[in-house]
């Protein structure tokens, strides 16, 4: 079985050549310049493979790519587009059939078969190649050959934004051992393995406590409390019992640990919510920590005077904590997402991070790396010119961040005197402090799912109160909008499985799930109200509301919960109640709800996806997703008009709230409250303080006449650049916040 991507491609080429009984089978892959690199071949001269590049648009291969259509010729040399490449020694072959490899509408390669005889390939043979090419395109689109090994010739690798900024330092590889690579093996002594398991748990609990104490000086208490999630899992009877059962079933301890870790990680990975989905990485981190502790692996001592970039499949909190203070320049994760704990911590520390790069060739300890968190790129061993440019960018970035710090406590007010309110989104205790540090005026969205997800049973009312109190107390005097449990569909609780649904996005989730399980909803609502006793900053937010009946049912439950608690002696009152407008059906019903609710929160991510029928996390259609699509803007305009008519306060959360182009348009449409991740607040505040409201109004009015999202973006970006706000787009200029 081929292990490396290039071996897999060679195997495919060999198989096609043998299966079709052709003299030549070749695969060409497009590079960033549009040239076609001969990636693999059976039949052409071996010395030409991975060396020959056909210029963009040249030859029959270029014709296949430009036409996006098969080219099938009995005698290739007679065609006007024939382009002879001497290194391939293809003069011996006459027949030619080439088909394009297309992914997301772009030609990424060409598959070619050739023969010595002068004959045209049959329709069946051509159809077979077209089918193979469609499958090969999917394979290559996500392969390091396309994303790393070929694109990495100039030392530049792309990934996913984890945390913004520019960092320059020396590579420190973090991979000591990968639990998921461990195979099953017989357990020689079940009793001893069980004892070893409990000893390992005790040792790692102590390690976590020690690391938590060590990192507390580098991070706020809220961010350092990520370790509390690890401690909870290390004490979770369900997790512990899963490992024990596997050992008793005859698996050795590492195999049992791998099985349990993958089981719990997959429960999160299968969820629809990207935030909850990313929690699988945290379980994977902890599994690796347990495995490496079992192996006796200790972290390497790092020099106190050397700037470090941590690199690994995943980079754990423990490894971040081990870097000497002030010496961590960047983090690169070959796997992972922008919502992982690693990204959360990187944002809190102000350390640039790039996630999900895939394999990076020639990477080694002490390699010089540039981490461009703004554009999600990593440069390996850059030349002097590139390094000098990034050093200047790094200096500019530091200059900008210092300037942004000066406006942390300043209001988000336009040049002509209109003030906006900026909230933060949170869901982990670790997210609490970054919002306060960055000047959040409250919490616009607090996701309550996490306490439910990390347990092996429903959390009690008292346990929920303890969690919610920390958030409400941290933001005392500022509003905290707590969303009721948004679970169901494919966001299942590990201890309360529900039957899989064909279309979970339209299924049993959000308010539908909790109303059908009203005993859980009552417990949660009571916990929220109790947690807010004497603080008066709780706002309850309902997800996925689509009918008046759902709202009425919750209002009845809320009234009952307040009455119960007052009868039990708690000094509580009915909190403000709002709904998330994320289901299109909610928009038309806003006038019906005006007397039943106190505020509205537009959930821009789900609303955009439902309106456009596009899943932004599906790579096949993600490129078509843009929340400044005219349909989305027009519906938001309609929401704001109805809310204004009925005097209902409106906020907006989701990615639109931190997209500079979208923020300008939303301001112009009349929105005055935004909720975003903590690290985005300073830049958005700077944007608001640098513009006049009438400029935003003119831009939004013009946007409503555009048919294409790209045109809308071009108009607004041009206006922002003219206003001296180039740094919003990570360009190398010294912007100065007002």
* Residue-wise pLDDT tens digits, 498-549: 666 666 667 677 888 888 888 889 999 999 999 999 999 999 999 999 999 9
Whole-number pLDDT of residue 222: 44
Q: Considering only 86-90, 260-264, 319-323, 682-686, which range has the smallest mean pLDDT?
A: 319-323
DSSP 8-class letter at 223: H
Question: Is 587's pLDDT higher than 70?
Answer: yes
Average predicted confidence (pLDDT) for the chain: 84
Structure tokens at 250: 């005859």
Q: For residue 527, which of 579, 454, 460 has the smallest C-alpha distance? A: 460
Say whether both 368 and 428 belong to one domain.
no
Q: Considering only 165-169, 427-431, 591-595, 637-641, which range has the smallest mean pLDDT?
A: 427-431
Q: Does residue 403 form part of some domain?
A: no
Say whether both 471 and 536 belong to one domain.
yes
Number of domains observed in the structure of the chain? 3
Q: Of 128, 154, 180, at which residue does a domain stop?
A: 154
Q: What is the mean pLDDT of residues 554-559?
A: 96
Q: Are 164 and 375 in contact (CB under 8 A)?
A: no
Whole-number pLDDT of residue 247: 94
CB atoms within 10 A of CB 524: 24
Q: Considering only 182-191, 431-440, 665-674, 694-703, which range has the smallest mean pLDDT?
A: 431-440
Structure tokens at 453: 């997800």
Q: Considering only 229-238, 637-646, 708-717, which range has the smallest mean pLDDT?
A: 229-238
Q: Is the pTM of this model over 0.85?
A: no
Question: Is 738's pLDDT higher than 80?
Answer: no
Question: Is 367's pLDDT higher than 70?
Answer: yes
pLDDT digits (tens, 9 = 90+) for 616-634: 666 566 667 889 999 999 9
Q: How many residues does the chain have?
A: 738
Q: For residue 340, which of 417, 432, 451, 226 has the smallest C-alpha distance? A: 226
Say whether both 127 and 223 belong to one domain.
no
Q: Considering only 264-268, 450-454, 462-466, 601-605, which range has the smallest mean pLDDT?
A: 450-454
In the chain, % of residues over pLDDT 70: 84
Q: Does residue 736 form part of some domain?
A: no
Q: Does residue 635 form part of some domain?
A: yes
Say whether both 322 and 338 belong to one domain.
yes
Catalytic annotation present for 259? no
Question: Is 59's pLDDT higher than 60?
Answer: yes
Higher pLDDT among residues 505 and 596, named by residue: 596
Residues 6+ positions from 727 with CB-CB distance below 8 Å: 396, 400, 733, 734, 735
Say whether both 600 and 499 belong to one domain.
yes
CATH of the domain at 310: 3.50.30.10
Q: Considering only 121-135, 150-164, 514-528, which range has the smallest mean pLDDT?
A: 150-164
Q: Which residue has the tokens 């006796």?
A: 296
Q: For residue 283, which of 346, 234, 345 has the smallest C-alpha distance? A: 234
Out of 94, 103, 242, 341, pick the active-site residue: 341
Q: What is the mean pLDDT of residues 687-698?
A: 94
Q: Does residue 662 form part of some domain?
A: no
Whole-number pLDDT of residue 145: 58
Query: β-pairing, 576-581 with 538-542?
Result: parallel
Q: Of 102, 133, 154, at which residue does a domain stop?
A: 154
Whole-number pLDDT of residue 141: 67
Which residues pair with residue 581 across a beta bridge?
Answer: 602
Query: Which range in 197-211, 314-328, 548-562 is most confidently predicted, on average pLDDT?
Result: 548-562
Say whether both 160 and 150 belong to one domain.
no
Say whether both 253 and 369 belong to one domain.
yes
In the chain, % of residues over pLDDT 90: 44
Higher pLDDT among residues 280 and 639, named by residue: 639
d(CA 207, CA 187): 26
Whole-number pLDDT of residue 150: 39
Say whether both 211 and 149 belong to one domain.
no
Whole-number pLDDT of residue 248: 93
Whole-number pLDDT of residue 456: 62
CA distances from 113 to 100, 101, 133 (A): 12, 14, 12
d(CA 304, CA 334): 25
Q: Does residue 449 form part of some domain?
A: yes
Q: Does residue 684 form part of some domain?
A: no
Q: Report residue 218's pLDDT band, with 50, 70 and 90 as the boundaries.
A: low
Query: β-pairing, 377-380 with 328-333?
Result: unpaired
Q: Does residue 469 form part of some domain?
A: yes
Whole-number pLDDT of residue 360: 79
Q: Does residue 664 form part of some domain?
A: no
Q: Considering only 117-121, 459-463, 645-649, which range has the smallest mean pLDDT?
A: 459-463
Which residues pair with residue 357 across a beta bridge?
Answer: none
Say whether both 632 and 613 belong to one domain.
yes
pLDDT digits (tens, 9 = 90+) for 456-490: 677 889 989 988 998 999 999 999 999 998 875 54
Higher pLDDT among residues 623 and 203, named by residue: 203
DSSP 8-class letter at 621: T
Q: Which residue has the tokens 């988000």?
A: 412
Say whether both 144 and 167 belong to one domain.
no
Question: Is 273's pLDDT higher than 70?
Answer: no
Residues 6+ positions from 104 with CB-CB distance below 8 Å: 141, 619, 620, 623
Catalytic annotation present for 187? no
Structure tokens at 468: 């919610």
Identify the domain containing residue 243 by its residue range: 156-394
Say whether both 353 and 444 belong to one domain.
no
CB neighbour class for 409 (10 Å; exposed up to 12, middle 13-18, buried from 19): exposed
CATH of the domain at 596: 3.20.20.60
Whole-number pLDDT of residue 1: 38
CATH of the domain at 147: 3.30.450.40
Say whether both 265 and 367 belong to one domain.
yes
Whole-number pLDDT of residue 526: 96
């Amino acid at each position: 079985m081929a292990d490396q991507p290039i071996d897999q491609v060679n195997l495919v080429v060999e198989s096609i050549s043998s299966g079709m009984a052709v003299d030549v089978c070749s695969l060409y892959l497009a590079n960033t310049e549009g040239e076609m690199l001969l990636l693999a071949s059976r039949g052409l001269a071996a010395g030409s493979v991975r060396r020959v590049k056909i210029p963009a648009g040249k030859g029959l291969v270029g014709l296949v790519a430009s036409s996006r259509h098969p080219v099938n010729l009995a005698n290739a040399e007679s065609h006007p587009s024939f382009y002879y490449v001497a290194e391939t020694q293809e003069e011996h072959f006459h027949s030619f059939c080439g088909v394009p490899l297309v992914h997301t509408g772009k030609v990424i390669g060409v598959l070619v078969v050739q023969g010595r005889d002068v004959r045209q390939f049959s329709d069946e043979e051509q159809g077979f190649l077209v089918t193979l090419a469609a499958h090969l395109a999917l394979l290559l689109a996500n392969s390091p050959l396309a994303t790393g090994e070929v694109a990495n010739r100039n030392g530049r690798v792309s990934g996913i934004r984890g945390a913004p900024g520019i960092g320059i330092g020396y590579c420190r590889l973090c991979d000591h051992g990968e639990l998921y690579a461990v195979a099953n093996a017989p357990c020689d002594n079940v009793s001893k393995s069980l004892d070893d398991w409990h000893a390992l748990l005790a040792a790692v609990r102590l390690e976590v406590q020690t690391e938590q104490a060590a990192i507390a000086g580098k991070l706020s208490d809220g961010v350092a409390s990520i370790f509390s999630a690890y401690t909870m899992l290390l004490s979770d009877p369900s997790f512990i019992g899963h490992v024990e059962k596997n050992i008793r079933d005859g698996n050795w301890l590492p195999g049992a640990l791998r099985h349990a870790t993958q089981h719990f990680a997959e429960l999160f990975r299968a969820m629809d919510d990207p935030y909850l989905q990313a929690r699988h990485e945290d379980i994977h981190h902890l599994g690796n920590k347990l495995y490496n502790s079992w192996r006796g692996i200790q972290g390497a001592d790092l020099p106190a005077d050397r700037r470090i970039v941590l690199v690994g499949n995943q980079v754990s909190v423990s490894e971040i904590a081990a870097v000497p203070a002030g010496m961590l320049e960047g983090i690169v994760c070959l796997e992972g997402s922008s919502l992982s704990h690693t990204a959360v911590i990187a944002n809190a520390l102000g350390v640039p991070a790039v996630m999900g790069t895939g394999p990076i060739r020639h990477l080694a300890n002490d390699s010089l790396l540039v981490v461009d968190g703004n554009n999600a790129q990593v440069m390996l061993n850059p030349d002097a010119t590139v390094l000098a440019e990034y050093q200047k960018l790094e200096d500019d970035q530091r200059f900008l961040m210092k300037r942004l710090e000066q406006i942390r406590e300043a209001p988000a007010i336009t040049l002509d005197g209109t003030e906006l309110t900026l909230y933060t989104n949170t869901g982990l205790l670790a997210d609490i402090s970054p919002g306060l540090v960055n000047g959040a005026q409250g919490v616009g969205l607090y996701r309550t799912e996490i306490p439910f997800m990390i347990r092996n049973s429903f959390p009690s009312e008292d346990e929920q109160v303890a969690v919610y109190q920390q958030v409400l107390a941290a933001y005392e005097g500022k509003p905290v909008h707590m969303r009721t449990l948004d679970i169901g569909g494919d966001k299942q609780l590990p201890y309360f499985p529900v039957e899989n649904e064909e279309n979970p996005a339209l299924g049993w989730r959000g308010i539908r799930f909790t109303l059908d399980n009203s005993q859980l909803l009552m417990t949660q609502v009571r916990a929220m109200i109790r947690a807010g006793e004497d603080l008066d900053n709780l706002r309850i937010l309902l997800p996925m509301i689509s009918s008046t009946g759902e709202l009425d049912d919750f209002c009845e439950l809320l009234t009952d919960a307040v009455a119960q608690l007052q009868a039990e002696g708690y000094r509580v009152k009915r909190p403000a109640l709002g709904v998330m407008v994320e289901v299109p059906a909610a928009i038309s019903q806003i006038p019906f709800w005006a007397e039943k609710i106190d505020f509205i929160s537009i959930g821009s991510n789900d609303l955009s996806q439902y309106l456009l029928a596009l899943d932004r996390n599906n790579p096949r259609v993600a490129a078509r997703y843009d929340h400044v699509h005219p349909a989305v803007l027009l519906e938001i305009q309609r929401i704001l008009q109805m809310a204004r008519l009925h005097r209902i306060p409106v906020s907006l959360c989701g990615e639109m709230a931190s997209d500079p182009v979208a923020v300008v348009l939303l301001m112009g449409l009349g929105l005055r409250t935004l909720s975003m991740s903590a690290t985005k607040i300073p830049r958005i505040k700077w944007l608001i303080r640098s513009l006049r409201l009438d400029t935003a109004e003119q831009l939004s009015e013009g946007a409503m006449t555009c048919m294409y999202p790209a045109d809308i973006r071009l108009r607004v970006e041009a206006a922002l650049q003219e206003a001296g706000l180039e740094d919003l787009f990570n360009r190398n200029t010294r912007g100065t916040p007002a």
